Chain A
Amino acid sequence: MFSVGDYNMDLPVKGVSSDELVSTRLRKLFDKRGFRRIRVNKFEDYALYIEYKNFLKSENIITFMDANGKLLALKPDITLSIVKNMPEKELTALEKLYYVDEVIRLTKETREYKVCNQIGMEIIGKTDSFSNIEAVQLALLSLELISKDFVLDISHLGFLSGLLEQADIPAHLKHQVMDGIHRCSRHDVAAALDAACACEEFKNRVLSLSCLRGNFFELLPKVKELINCRQMQEAYDELKHLGESFKDTNLGKRMNLDFSVVNDLDYYNGLIFLGYVKGVPKVALTGGRYDNLMRKMGKNNSAIGFAVSLDDFSTYLNTGKKFDFDILITYNENSDYARLLAIAGDMAANGMSVRLENERLDLESAGFTWGKRYNFADNRIREED
């Protein structure tokens, strides 16, 4: 009798959906880099989301009362729960964590709640500049494990806020400027700056920044030209330092600088990034440094992390799956079952998915499809049409 080792578990199983493949690959990646897997409770105190509601993409949350009358929620976010459970004091060592979990979110188009599968990592503690580099490298590797054709758009909120703080722009117009930059809407950025009566020199500077999108290393010199304060210089230095670790590497070729990547300054700061893979029309990976959230939650630590939304991959990425299973082997009551199992084991060890069925049953009418069909009877295996 064969053992589980015969199944050669390192070979990918054909027909596994893309989201499962991605999840498996990324888990292995995080395991190999010494990240610890954590599991977060399915339910969370609703009060957490009231206090930090702007951190969430949507305010629509499913709530319910527990047996003690406490209002709980089906969690719409994982990072908030992880941060909440971190100690307030400075950590003596970095926490390098990853999770594979579900969040419940309202879909914009259908206004229905949906279970969204996510895998993500967080580096929490006394993070340093290498933490940025490690997070960006893992983000790039994660994208590469999803598809060979990918890009990571990188921005620095310190650079943007350093620039915007130089003019006395009313809060609502500053929000419009940020929103226009986020949508690559040069005309709206210009209109908001005109409404704020910004001077021509400042306006040109912001408009130049809003148009910076492209190869990370080609754009860095252009970013340097825009510096005119300490905050922008520090942000630039951080970007430059990050780039040095990836210059002339294959991963580095996938890095873009793109200042349209913006996020809520109340929670995020410093480096932020978004990942895209060809063929998937939505953002595949979101991440960044969120020291401001840590501070708001009373944690004396800094943090950087990212999350990958798994659900879109099975919709948009083709795994080449043509059949429900590669091989169908039918047997009857007289078949040698031990031999049958050994044959199935051999085939599985070669990376094929094998289904064993009694020849009396009609899988075709049940809607199943397969690559090859064999019949195992009288201790002989014969291919059938």
Chain B
Amino acid sequence: MLNIALPKGRLGDEVYALLAGIGYDCPEFLENSRKLILENKLNNIRYFLVKPSDVSIYVERGAADVGVVGKDTLIEFEPDVYELLDLQIGKCRIAVAGPETYEKSAEASLRIATKFPNIAKKYYASNHRNIEVIKLNGSIELAPLVGLSDLIVDIVETGGTLKENNLKVLSKIMDVSARLIANKSSYKFKGADIDLMTGKLRARLENNFFGG
């Protein structure tokens, strides 16, 4: 039985569609129930539905053999897992954003609100800027509007939320997308199953890429 940790929400739905398309379907997934464990014994798979930022924890600690997680989470938390495939979905970027009226000051220490303190610290260290990180768990865009921070470091997909709140992207830190990850120990003992899934996913992605 292969245990797969899927992120709840839109990314999870996209990943499920991808996996179902290569033979890892699980009819219960489409029933909109509140079940957190969905199983298809015929396919020998079990899906766990977890909070996106928790996927890497489930995989690193071996509760799930594989999972799908954003590259942002992998860079921020550095879990000790294999990163087998770039799934080319959930594409977005991590960027520095601030008020449209923001004026750069090279001297002042910056207050940065973010869900990604490690990424923010590394980015500003490489730019030789001193920052104070304010760790938030959501609604990051609010922070500069109410004076909690000068700028934010956050995921930007279309930029719509930023625009509605009179914020703009000031600089891009990195592009991110969803990755297939595997527990290292699981890979040693279920490697054939994991490789089979990875191979089918890779073939599907290449097929999509070349318009097949």
Contacts and interface: CB of A to CB of B under 8 A. Distances in A.
B61 A281 contact: yes
Interface stretch (B26-34, B37-45, B155-163, B185-193): B185-193
B186 A281 contact: yes
Interface string A279-298: 01111000000000000000
Contacts of B62: 280-282, 316
Interface residues of B, number: 21
Given A281-B62, A281-B183, A151 B83 contact: no
A276 B84 CA distance: 19
B184 interface: yes
A149 B189 contact: yes
B82 A280 contact: no
A187 interface: yes
Nearest to B81: A183
A153 B189 CA distance: 12
A184 B82 CA distance: 6
Given A149-B189, A281-B60, A281-B62, A276 B184 contact: yes
B185 A183 contact: no
A184 B84 contact: yes
Interface in A237-269: 256, 260
A276 B179 CA distance: 24
A282 B84 contact: no
B86 interface: yes
Nearest to A280: B185
Contacts of B80: 282
A256 B185 CA distance: 13
Interface in A177-230: 183-185, 187-188, 213-214
A185 B60 contact: no
A355 interface: no
B189 A260 contact: no
A278 interface: yes
A185 B182 CA distance: 11
Contacts of B189: 149, 151, 276, 278
Contacts of B84: 184-185
Interface in A75-128: 109
B85 interface: yes
Interface residues of A, number: 21
Contacts of A256: 188
Interface in B80-134: 80-86
Task: Tell me the interface secondary structure of chain B in the complex.
Answer: mixed
A276 B185 contact: yes
Given A281-B61, A281-B62, A260 B186 contact: no
A282 B185 contact: yes
B83 A188 contact: yes
A109 B183 CA distance: 16
A23 to B, nearest CB: 21
B84 to A, nearest CB: 6
A149 B185 CA distance: 11
A280 B168 CA distance: 46
A48 B115 CA distance: 36
Contact of A276 (B83, B182, B188): B188
Nearest to A284: B185
Nearest to A316: B62
Interface in B156-205: 179, 182-186, 188-189, 191
Nearest to B186: A281
Contacts of B86: 187
Interface in B46-100: 57, 60-63, 80-86
Contact of A183 (B60, B82, B183, B186): B82
Contacts of B81: 183
B83 A281 contact: no
18 contacts: A149-B189, A184-B82, A184-B84, A185-B82, A185-B179, A276-B184, A276-B185, A278-B185, A278-B188, A280-B62, A280-B185, A281-B62, A281-B183, A281-B184, A282-B62, A282-B80, A282-B184, A283-B184
Interface of A: 109, 149, 151, 153, 183-185, 187-188, 213-214, 256, 260, 276-278, 280-283, 316
Given A183-B82, A281-B62, 10 more contacts: A151-B188, A151-B189, A184-B83, A213-B191, A276-B184, A281-B60, A281-B63, A281-B183, A281-B186, A316-B62
- In the A-B complex, the 5 residue pairs with the smallest Cβ-Cβ separation, listed nearest first, are A281-B62, A185-B83, A184-B82, A187-B86, A183-B83
